Structure formats: C-alpha cells, structure tokens
C-alpha cells in the first residue's frame, strides 16, 4: 500500500533531517522511519520547551500512565506530505491516557486546517 508523498516533500524531509542532525541521511532508514523519528524527536523537544502549556498538571508519562499524543496524527501527516515541523507544534500536542491514545490510533482529533491555523494564531 503506497502513500501520496510527493518527491518534493521527500526531499524537504531529507533536508530537514540533515539540518537538525548535521549529517547526511543514513541509508538504512526508509522514509517512513525517518519521518517518524524526526516527528518524535522534535515533539519531545517541543514538550520540554512548552511543558507548562502541554502538560500543565504535570501528569506522569509512561507505560500505564499518560502519553504525548499528536492531535493530527503522524501517519496522516506522512500520507499528506506535511512537513514534520508542523506536527511538532505545541497546539498539536496533548496528554492522553495510554488506553485512550492506543484507541485513538492513527485518527486525527483536529483537521489539517486546524493544524495550520494554529501556526498563524500561535495557539
């Protein structure tokens, strides 16, 4: 089953990786693995920087606790060719109980428009 990511988007993702890592893309990563790794890594950075906004109640994270959830899912972002930097913004991250996050799976709780609108309004 394929995905609808353009060659231009693939090149942007590779360039983004090279910029944040300071090195060329390792050959053993396929594009999906690379995309996920970038989103997870940058999401953790965003979480640390904006923890007081994303997790104001300091909910415990981990197994059988709370997870850092992407309102607009990583898989949908990949399928639609959305650059990882948009998925890692504070307004796209939320805390969910592990069971809720697993049940949500790849579904999105916001639209692509809402994802982008937060960029302009700083939400």
* R_g of the chain computed on alpha carbons: 15
Cβ(118)–Cβ(88) below 8 Å: no
Residue 7 has pLDDT above 70, yes or no: yes
Overall domain count for the chain: 1
The mean predicted confidence, pLDDT, of the chain is 85
Q: Element (H or E) spanning 69, and its range?
A: strand 66-70
Distance CA 80, CA 90 (A): 20
Range of the domain at 49: 7-121
Residue 94 lies in a domain: yes
Residue 73 lies in a domain: yes
Give CA angle at 86 (85, 90), nearest 5°: 100
Residue 1 lies in a domain: no
Per-residue pLDDT tens over the stretch 42-86: 999 999 999 999 999 999 999 999 999 999 999 999 889 999 999
Per-residue pLDDT tens over the stretch 9-18: 777 777 776 7
């Amino acid at each position: 089953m394929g995905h609808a990511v353009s060659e231009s988007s693939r090149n942007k993702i590779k360039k983004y990786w090279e910029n944040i890592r300071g090195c060329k893309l390792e050959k053993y990563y396929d594009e999906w693995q690379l995309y996920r790794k970038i989103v997870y890594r940058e999401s953790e950075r965003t979480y640390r920087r904006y923890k007081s906004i994303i997790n104001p109640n300091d909910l415990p994270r981990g197994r059988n606790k709370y997870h850092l959830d992407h309102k607009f899912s990583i898989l949908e972002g990949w399928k639609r060719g959305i650059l990882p930097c948009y998925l890692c913004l504070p307004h796209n991250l939320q805390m969910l109980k592990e069971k809720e996050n697993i049940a949500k799976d790849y579904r999105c709780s916001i639209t692509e428009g809402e994802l982008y609108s937060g960029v302009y309004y700083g939400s």
